Amino acid sequence: MKFGLFGGAQVNSTQLGAGCVISCHDVPLRTIAEPSRTIESEQTMTNTHACWCKGAIALMAACMAFNATAQGYPAKTVRFVITYPAGGGSDYTARPIAQKLTERWGQSVVVDSRPGGSAMIGTDFVVKSLPDGYTLLLSASSEMAMNVVLFKKMPYDPIRDLQPITLVGTAPAVLLAHPSLPAKTIKDLVALARAKPGALSYASIGSGSPQHFAGELLKTTFNIDMVHVPYKGAAPALIDLLGGHVPLGLTAPTTAIPHIKAGRLRILAVTSAQRSGSLPDVPTVAESGAPGFDIVQWYAIWVAAKTPKDIVDKIYSDITSIIQSPEYKQRQIEAGTDVVGSTAEALSNRQKTDIEKYRKIAAAAGIKPE
């Protein structure tokens, strides 16, 4: 590609791998048609020509630096941001990926927990980072889809400001009942709720959580009336459910499985579209009379928007190889998460679809954005 510049200089740019080569060529500054040009004007044009050449050389250096970065990635420590406290589901999902990437890349991949602000603090940190692939984000559907519905204003646009890499996995909620409740199936629960409108209540880990949305979708899908009782986390919700203070609850499989096995709680269904790998014998709500019912917490990996495509492709290739390994899949099943793995396009489509789904659920349940 040739660009004509002031002062008679030209810059020729030609493709060379992922970078470019730029060269300057002198064009005579004085011609027969310009006999009256003064020494001063000639000097001015010479300076202009030199200036443009320096700019061209700088651009060439930038292109070469970019090319080296793309080919040599990663050349330093990579930060892997999670938006929840260490020790939780996000940490359990991210840490083995970071360990395997460290082994594969020969550079440290450090898990960096940045919780708070309804998971927006950590996400905003990644959005504002350099788009060079050295800051990864593991996020959940609660901040990438539900927050769009729950908050009038966010410090970033989760669709525009982040580049999707892959959907790692999904974790359903489990619908639990205290043993004293005379309901062993979804059909039993629906009959009981219709016989006593408003008499039943269900616990969730908090307002605006995936479990809350699952409970509200249950109500509208089966046309039943139940009272939502939000708790601040899974532990207090389980304590009251185990004590019979609330007859129903929705929570993550990992916290519920020990109590299910001990007979202290009864599981009625999982909220995912397919049966959970950690609970293969438990029916889904979808197969219990609600086709299409699907509320899960999904975990996905992103980088800042405008990260170079070849770096995005490398991150995608290496991470999908790790999460599709039998070792990683089994580890996640034990944690109540089913590994998916997806293209960036599929993740983007899932995000947009879920935003609209949660918008409809919120409208039907009267959940107002803050």
Q: 83 near 115, Cβ under 8 Å? A: yes
pLDDT of residue 276: 96
Helices (H), 76-150: 89-105, 120-127, 141, 147-150
pLDDT of residue 68: 37
Q: Give the count of alpha carbons within 13 A of 334, CB side only.
A: 7
Q: How far apart are CA 368 and CA 9, in angstroms?
A: 62
Residues in the chain predicted with pLDDT less than 70, given as ranges, are: 1-70
The β-bridge partners of 208 are none
Considering the entire predicted model, what is its pTM?
A: 0.80
pLDDT of residue 71: 78
pLDDT of residue 70: 56
pLDDT of residue 18: 37
Q: How far apart are CA 142 and CA 139, in angstroms?
A: 8
Joined tokens for residue 249: 């609850």
Picking from 154, 225, 227, the residue whose alpha carbon sits closest to that of residue 195 is 225
pLDDT of residue 80: 98
pLDDT of residue 40: 42
Q: 123 near 135, Cβ under 8 Å? A: no
pLDDT of residue 254: 87
Matching residue, tokens 């490398």? 314
CA angle 163, 167, 170 (to 5 degrees): 145
Q: 210 near 173, Cβ under 8 Å? A: yes
Q: How far apart are CA 255 and CA 258, in angstroms?
A: 7
pLDDT of residue 368: 92
